[in-house]
Amino acid sequence: MPRHSIAVVFAGSGGSGAMSAGAVFLRAAARAGYFGMMTQLFGAQVRGGESAALVQIGVEPIEAQPDRFDAFVALDWDKVEQFAAEIPLDETSLIFADPSAGAVPAGIAKSKGRVVALTMSDPGESKIDRALHGKRVNMFAAGCLAALCGLPADDIGGAVESIFGEKGGDVVGANRARALAGVQAAPALALDLKLAPPTHDRRWLISGNQAVALGALRGGVRFVGCYPITPATDLVEWLAPHLLKLGGRLVLGEDELASVNLALGASYGGVPAMTVTSGPGFSLMVESLGLAVAAEIPLVVIDVMRAGPSTGIASKTEQSDVNLAIYGAHGDAPRVVLAPLSVGDCAGTAEYAVYVAEALQVPVIVLSDQMLGQATAVIDPVSDRPPPQSRKTNGAAAGQPFKRYATGGDAVTPMPLPGTPGREWVAEGLTHNEAGLPASGAAMHAAQIHKRARKIREFDAGDRWGEVTGEGDTAILAFGSTVGPAREAARRLAEAGRNVRVIALRLLAPLPAKQLAQALTGVRRVVVIEQNDTGQLYRHLLGHKAVPVDAESVARPGPLPFRPSEIVNYVA
């Protein structure tokens, strides 16, 4: 019986090309009309170290890491064993290895998976060629596995071309030749890994980080201040050339204190602005979250979360910045916190973040995570729409002095572009009066705090607050990269006759009380799932009485992703 999906790992030492193998395999599947997702594992070495590409492809969208892998392809066995804990294999898994690479290490062999001998190197290759370009066993492996899954040779060759295209004809030709050699070697293995026929639609191959960047551009961001940090750097690298093409500016600050304030200054100057970081940088930016709240300046902050605290694990995921995003700052500093629901949703959520920041004149934090950010997925295209920008720059009657921070009427007050005659105002971090002049009286302090609180309170996200899938009186509440596994778990439970609802929360703050209450009608059991040790989201929900007091918390630290089976086991 043809499969609906297959999960394959390509692993090897530095220089073996595991990531390229995964990329070719995934892109070939995308060209053939399948969905897919690829995540990456890296060893401790900074550069050129051992790595593994974890790829799953199938006829339906894939949003979670699989429970187990069907195939493990060893490009070599150098230090690859260290990944064993993060790559679940079992006795039905196939382990592909070149006999010349040596014996299967104990950590992998203990899965009892069947070892398939596959000679991957090119016997005819000259020594010089090999020294120059490596053995290209990676392309052979990718071609072979793709062919075993039933992907057409044309799509495999096309994938090689689009991935190596920039490197010139020689490189493309040599790599394609090895990939097609792999295709030809497939039938002799007599293995049946064929996928069911795909549905052919135009799809995108995109990473979560790229999708955030795309969404921000579509939302109208034209200034970015940032400082490099894993795993957010690739977002900025992808964004930079596109931003420049659109006439925008990117400035690398000397640190995150500068980066966030560069963005804040640019936003004050009238340009939708954003900063991009991860936990350690986000900690430094907290000071200016308060400033953006007090001075009422729109600001988008992207936090691609990684394992913390402190430097933690730079390249691995965790959802442990929830407290900081929602509450980080001294004083009462209400803001908006959003989290994307999937790789594809990174675009829509980032675009929406720009819209909300501009509309409410507040900082909006997008909590992505390494798992979403650095996963590459085949998704349905994000629909095109014009950038929804709506900063209120005029409206109030000109008068002297201009009341930038008027408290009586609409909580969102006009914020004219600096340089507008007759509408001069000072953005002020000190408690100020309506005209923006420093004030320290109790009444004005309260009035301004209430004005800012009201902006947040009156904000209605409508149906963008989150998504509900499934039915049943048990609800799993999740956000970010745990949404995918939660939905997959619910799907499996439904297949087994047990209906479970998944409430995927996009709006973490302010909590959408009304919509959540509606989503929870008829629910008798609530399970809040998150990837941190202290149940940060759970406590936030309980504190706001957004879930019943007997709601359950499933909270554990990263970096291992939640697997659907883990959630099924807990809920069942």
Partner 1 sequence: MTYLAKPKFHHPGLPKNELGYTHRDYEGTVSTLCAGCGHDSITGAIIQACFELAIEPHRVAKISGIGCSSKTPTYFLGNSHGFNSVHGRMPSVLTGANLANRDLIYLGVSGDGDSASIGLGQFAHCLRRGVNMTYIVENNGVYGLTKGQFSATADRGSKSKRGVTNTDNSIDMVAMALQLGASFVARSFSGDKEQLVPIIKAAIAHQGAAFIDVISPCVAFNNHAGSTKSFDFVREHNEAVNRLDFISTRMPIGLQQEPGTVEIVEQHDGSRIALRKLDADYEVHDRAAALGFLQHHAAKGQIVTGLLFVEKEAQDLHAHLDTVEEPLNKLGEKELCPGSAVLGQINAGLR
Looking at the Cβ atoms of 254 and 550, the one nearer to partner 1 is 254
CB of 418 to partner 1, least distance (A): 4
| Residue whose entry in the numeric block shows the structure tokens 């109030």 | 396
Q: Which amino acid appears at position 40 of this protein?
A: Q
Phi then psi for residue 152, to 5 deg, are -65, 145
387 lies in the site for partner 1, by CB under 8 A: yes
Q: Based on the shown chain and the rule CB under 8 A, indicate whether residue 362 belongs to the binding site for partner 1.
A: no
Contact flag: residue 430 with partner 1 (CB under 8 A): yes
Q: Which residues are CB-neighbours of 471 under 8 A, at least 6 positions away?
A: 499, 501
> Which among 112-120, 192-200, 439-447, 544-552 is the span making contact with partner 1, rule CB under 8 A?
439-447
Task: Report which residue type is found at 534.
Answer: T
Q: Compare residues 103 and 246 and give the one whose CB is closer to partner 1.
A: 246
> Of 74-82, 268-276, 523-531, 561-569, which part binds partner 1 (CB under 8 A)?
268-276
Helix axes 153-164, 18-32, angle to 10 degrees: 130
Could you give the C-alpha distances from 142 to 90, 94, 332, in angstroms and in order?
22, 15, 54
CB of 4 to partner 1, least distance (A): 24
Using the minimum distance from each CB to partner 1, give the nearer residue, 11 or 263.
263
Q: Which stretch binds partner 1 (CB under 8 A): 42-50, 146-154, 215-223, 515-523?
A: 215-223
Distance, CA of 428 to chain centre: 34
**Count of residues binding partner 1 (CB under 8 A)?**
67
Piece of the chain touching partner 1 by CB under 8 A; list 63-71, 96-104, 220-228, 520-528: 220-228
Return the structure tokens found at 162: 């689009």
Residue 88 exposure: Cα atoms within 13 Å on the Cβ side: 11
Of 69-77, 217-225, 516-524, 533-541, the window that binds partner 1 (rule: CB under 8 A) is: 217-225
Of 370 and 433, CB closest to partner 1 = 433
Binding region for partner 1 (CB under 8 A) out of 201-209, 327-335, 449-457, 521-529: 201-209
Cβ proximity to partner 1: between 217 and 547 the closer is 217
CB contact at 8 A, 139 and 160: yes
- 174 contacts: CB under 8 Å, gap ≥ 6: 133, 136
Scanning 49-57, 264-272, 478-486, 522-530 for contacts with partner 1 by CB under 8 A, the matching segment is 264-272
DSSP 321: -
Task: For partner 1, give the closer residue by CB, 25 or 223.
Answer: 223
Query: Can the peptide bond before residue 231 be classed as cis, meaning omega within 30 degrees of 0?
Result: yes
**Other residues' Cβ atoms within 10 Å of the Cβ of residue 197:** 12
Q: Which residue has the tokens 């062999």?
A: 109
Q: Is 255 in the site for partner 1 (CB under 8 A)?
A: yes
Distance of CA 33 to the CA centre of its chain: 23
How many Cα atoms are found within 13 Å in the side-chain-facing hemisphere of 139? 25
Mark residues 390-429: x for contact with partner 1 by CB under 8 A, - for none. Answer: -----------x---------------xxxxxx-xxxxxx
Site for partner 1 in 460-499 (CB under 8 A): none
CB 545 within 8 A of CB 536: no
Distance CA 157, CA 165 (A): 11
Instruction: Map tokens 């093409």 to a residue.
Output: 245
Q: Which of 75, 139, 183, 295 binds partner 1 (CB under 8 A)?
A: 295
Determine the straight-line distance between the first and last CA of the chain, rounded to whole angstroms: 28
Q: How far apart are CA 274 and CA 266, in angstroms?
A: 9
Question: What residues between 121 and 140 interact with partner 1 by CB under 8 A?
Answer: none
254 scored as a contact of partner 1 (CB under 8 A): yes
7, 64, 97, 206: residue in contact with partner 1 (rule CB under 8 A) = 206
In this structure, is the dihedral angle defined by the CA atoms of residues 12, 13, 16 and 20, taken in order, positive or negative?
positive
Using rule CB under 8 A, residue 161 touches partner 1 = no
Binds partner 1 (CB under 8 A): choice among 440, 499, 518, 569: 440
Site residues (CB under 8 A) for partner 1?
A: 202-206, 210, 214, 217-218, 222-223, 225, 242, 245-249, 251, 253-255, 257-259, 261-271, 273, 287-288, 290-291, 295, 381-382, 384, 386-387, 401, 417-422, 424-430, 433, 437-441
